[in-house]
Amino acid sequence: MNIFGFAMAVLYVGLGIFLLVANNIFGFSGFQQLGFGLILIVYGLFRFYSAIKKKRENESEEDDEE
């Protein structure tokens, strides 16, 4: 499940960067494209942080059990 969390974080950040640098292929205005791209990047970074935090918690629980 950790791999899926990291993969989704990378996907969100990648899609956000794509929206920022790509031509307007979705029919958004410039402001909408910039806003949505930034929201996706921030959400992807949040997911990445969450995945790292969950991974560390799982590792510390495993260490406590031993």
Give rounded-to-5 percent helix, strand, coil for the chain. 85, 0, 15
Q: Give CA angle at 6 (36, 2), nearest 5°.
A: 140
The whole-model pTM stands at: 0.83
The tokens describing 12, both together, are 């969100």
8, pLDDT greater than 90: yes
pLDDT higher for 58 or 65?
58
As a whole number of angstroms, the distance between CA 25 and CA 22 comes to: 8
**Which of 1-5, 35-39, 53-57 shows the lowest mean pLDDT across its residues?**
1-5
Domain boundaries, the chain: 2-61
The tokens describing 2, both together, are 């950790």
Q: Are 51 and 2 in contact (CB under 8 A)?
A: yes
